[in-house]
Structure 1
């Protein structure tokens, strides 16, 4: 009987250890650990599909993480806080959009660099922001629209 109790205690301890390791991994994947980054934010009409911990991508390459999503009650807009790698210096007219590289992938915050000579300082707010287009809307645009082709190619 004492041996059964000892086995149950050891097994319970292993289960707790595995659960703790999984929790630590999940938390580490949601925050930046040891990366030298600076904070920016953007305002969206809707941040639908985006979540805290989502990647920030530039040219399909992860360059940061979404750190906060909050509703501004005064403007009824979603404020999205995110970080970027310190070695990136974005032009002041850069934009952001919510999207996914694939239909099955998680939504990410995609940075669209501008061309202005002035640079965004840390803590700046990007006002050139585009919301995510739902899968239904994308399919509808493809079926009933021009499939995303430039209008001059439809001749």
Structure 2
């Protein structure tokens, strides 16, 4: 009887750990079935380190994800669609930039809010963009002493 009780307790512990892992993974990945979003468009010179699913942040808080990335064959720019959580109003003079989490961290898309009293609507284009800055090219400029 003691052996059977131990097996049930260990089994319950394993099951609880598995459920905890699933809950944690869904929160980290941002998987929620009830959240609705709206799309915004942007065109970047360089989208280095950003792909579909990359976080979109506002004031350091995750407010959406990168939904689509396509190369525009006419302008040679990365046309990007970001999905922003419904209810988050972004002023229509805001900028969108590719930021880095640090030297060893990955890149993410950051929305820098403006001060306009008017807001972007679903499908609008953010024209004030700043692409990714290559850390390698910055280091090469520093080492070579180039002022370009």
TM-score when normalising by structure 2: 0.70
Distance 1:124 1:100, change over 3 A: same
Mapped to 2, the partners of 1:142 and 1:88 lie a distance apart of: 40
Mapped to 1, the partners of 2:89 and 2:100 lie a distance apart of: 23
Structure 1 residue 66 and structure 2 residue 42: aligned? no
Distance 1:65 1:90, change over 3 A: same
Query: Any residues of structure 2 matched to 1:1-80 within 5 Å, and which?
Result: 29=29, 33-80=33-80
Q: Return the offset for 1:53.
A: 0.4
Q: Return the offset for 1:32.
A: 6.0
Q: Return the offset for 1:104.
A: 2.0
User: Which runs of 5 or more structure 2 residues have no equivalent in the other structure?
Assistant: 1-24
Mapped to 1, the partners of 2:67 and 2:86 lie a distance apart of: 15
Contact 1:30 1:54 in 2 (8 A): no
Q: Return the offset for 1:102.
A: 1.9
Q: Return the offset for 1:114.
A: 0.7
Aligned residues: 121
Q: Return the offset for 1:48.
A: 1.6
Structure 1 residue 121 and structure 2 residue 138: aligned? no
User: Which runs of 5 or more structure 1 residues have no equivalent in the other structure?
Assistant: 1-24, 146-155
Mapped to 1, the partners of 2:126 and 2:142 lie a distance apart of: 29
Equivalent position SS for 1:69:
strand
TM-score when normalising by structure 1: 0.67
Structure 1 residue 112 and structure 2 residue 144: aligned? no
Mapped to 2, the partners of 1:141 and 1:118 lie a distance apart of: 41
Q: RMSD in angstroms over aligned alpha carbons?
A: 2.6
